[in-house]
Amino acid sequence: MRVGGQAWPRWGGALLLALAFAALASIRLDRPGFFDNEGRYAEVAREMLLRRDLVTPEMNQTLFLNKPPLMYWLTAGAFALGADGEWARIASVLAAASSVFFTCRLGARLFGAGTGLLAGVFLATMFGFVLESRTLRPDGVLVACVVAALSAWRAAEETPAERRAPWLVLGWAALALGFMAKGAVPVAVVAIPIVACTVRDHGWHGLRRLRPVLGVAVFLLVAAPWHVAVAMRHPGFAWDYVINQHVLFFFDRKLPRDSVGDPLSVFWPMFLGRTLPWIALVPFTVREGLRGRRHAASELEQAVFFCWVWAGGVLLLFSAAPSRLEHYSLPALPAVALLAARGCRRLAAGTVGRLGWAWLGLIGATLLAAGVVGAWEGRGLLERVYWIEQMPALLALLPPAVVVALVGGTLLVWSVYRRAAGGVAVALAAVALPMLAILVRAQAEAEPFFSWRPLARVIDARIPDSVEIVFEAPEEYQQVGGLAFYTRRHITLLAPPGFTPPTYLEPYRDRLFLPRAEFDKRWTGPEALAFVSDPQQRRDTPQGLVPGAFRVLDRSGDRWLLTNRDVLDLRSAG
């Protein structure tokens, strides 16, 4: 193809799609405020810039070496380039746009350019992927690194032996960057499909094709300097990082117990929810995937098998880990998009049988049923969730969601009746696009329950800087990150019962937390104090949170803001 007299590059469509996605995903990045799991990354990045130290992460003016630094560096870079507050999420948006681009390119190598571009469209409109693209945490960077590494490996497989090395270097470099974002996770995720397909095609000795010695060299160049520098500066870091944060964490034996794994009954449904609506097309690829496990299978069947092993490997890996959290399934989303694109091609080609059309009819009927139930009982069901009941704006999103379900279900049932493959795609798109807008709006309306920003505004307006703020820290004490970010203050942490600090924090144990007995004494004394409750615990009243008398300044979700004396005049006097 030629444009303006010049050849249009093969990756031009993928680039345009990625740029369009980045532009759309960036709309109103300032809403909502940073959720609790985002605030820690924003605060570490802010403090890095204040201290002019990009090597040692600190949060709330205390060492925080639980995570690799890449997300902190990207966030600090966004701040340094002028991003204001939540607009630092642009780092996540650009990572997600990279995932869209590499998914298109990988799909082009596996199934052809048209199917690759379709896979990129499906990924760019997948519920969980879009929401993650607007979330400041390293999982989006992890996904981008995984897709980039797999795309480079596939390119190397299609390249003559004498020209494979540059592609392999790029693949190993992507993995090393992923290691700097999320530790060993990307290595495990990528190894499963690559090893499975390499052994199928070349036997175990074929693993030498991956040039592991070259990979070690790339890792030493990219990932080793920061890890070595921090280990030399901070005794205890190496043991905590390797054993505690990786080995013990996988088996849910890490100390402190600052995260609780999600059960499989949450992990799997959340994965399915994140892949909506396009996962409806994935079952059409099952037979091809099963045939692709054989060395004698066609290239198309082998490509489908690769995608199934990729997605299945992610899900099985974390299903075996009791420490799993629901968003750990994110690296499987590009594989689902690729399978859905292949399924859509099969549907368009008329190779889907009656069972496949019956499956689509069932989905259409389910959408219609959901719309009917939502119209008649939806409000009552939602009001049973106590935090939704407190936010009428969330309930106001129910009617448009009902309309989307009814319209999408009607279009899908009609398309099944007419055997119209194009109508199926239109019906699923009619669900995807407006529902994404509703979900993004719902996130913004849920801010009081999941962000420190509303409470921090009250603190800034009503509590003078001279008044110490004490936070009822859970074992996941890094929850304080968002509060510190929005208030720009050091927050005193009330000691959680039975807390075991990471080994690198042992030298700071005595000044990390305020003992409960000392807090009780100071609360009832002449000194003015403010108290912020643990947002992870539901308290319908503030009774019992502090000793003695108190005044309620604000409540935002499950976050209570109390003072032991009247501080309102102090702010105006200051």
Tokens 């203050």 correspond to: 489
Q: In the prediction, which pLDDT does 488 show?
A: 97
Ramachandran area for residue 183 (φ above 0: left; ψ -120 to 50: alpha; else beta):
left
What CA–CA distances, in Å, run from 40 to 65, 84, 250, 480? 12, 16, 22, 7
Question: Dmax over Cα atoms in the chain, in whole Å?
Answer: 82
Closest by Cα among 505, 512, 518, 468 to 490 = 468
The pairing of beta strand 468-472 with beta strand 62-63:
unpaired
Chain-centroid distance, C-alpha 97:
14
Q: Structural domain boundaries of the chain?
A: 11-345, 353-446, 452-573
What lies within 8 Å, CB to CB, of 421 at 6+ separation is: 344, 347, 348, 350, 415
User: Residues 211, 217, 222, 223: is their CA dihedral positive or negative?
Assistant: positive
Write down the pLDDT at residue 498: 82
CA distance 334 to 312: 12
The token pair that represents 539 in the structure block: 């308290």
What lies within 8 Å, CB to CB, of 274 at 6+ separation is 126, 127, 128, 129, 131, 329, 330, 333
The DSSP secondary-structure symbol of 261 reads P
- Determine the Cα–Cα distance for residues 524 and 456; give it in Å rounded to an integer: 24
Return the structure tokens found at 14. 């993928």
CA–CA distance from 351 to each of 112, 280, 284, 285, 342 (Å)?
18, 16, 9, 11, 12
Q: According to the model, what pLDDT value does residue 1 have?
A: 40
For residues 43 and 477, the answer to whether their CB atoms sit within 8 Å is no
Helices 421-445/333-348 angle, 10° precision: 150
Inter-residue contact 531 to 550 (CB < 8 Å): yes
Q: Give the side-chain half-sphere CA count within 13 A for 532.
A: 29
Is residue 214 within 8 Å of residue 169, measured between CB atoms?
Answer: yes
Cβ 478 vs Cβ 59: under 8 Å: yes
Mean pLDDT for back-to-back runs of 10 residues, the chain (574 residues): 49 95 97 95 98 96 94 98 97 98 97 96 98 98 98 95 94 98 96 97 94 97 96 92 85 79 95 98 97 93 98 97 94 98 97 96 98 94 84 92 98 97 97 97 94 96 94 94 97 91 85 93 94 94 94 94 77 46
Residue 502: predicted pLDDT: 87
Q: How many CB atoms within 10 Å of residue 370?
A: 18
Which residues are within 8 A (CB) of 431 and not within 5 positions of it... i.e. 6 or more apart? Answer: 276, 277, 367, 404, 405, 408
**Are 149 and 192 a contacting pair, CB within 8 Å?**
no
The predicted structure's pLDDT at residue 9 = 62
CA distances from 237 to 243, 249, 399, 498, 504 (A): 10, 15, 52, 21, 5
What is the rounded CA–CA span in Å between residue 130 and residue 528?
44
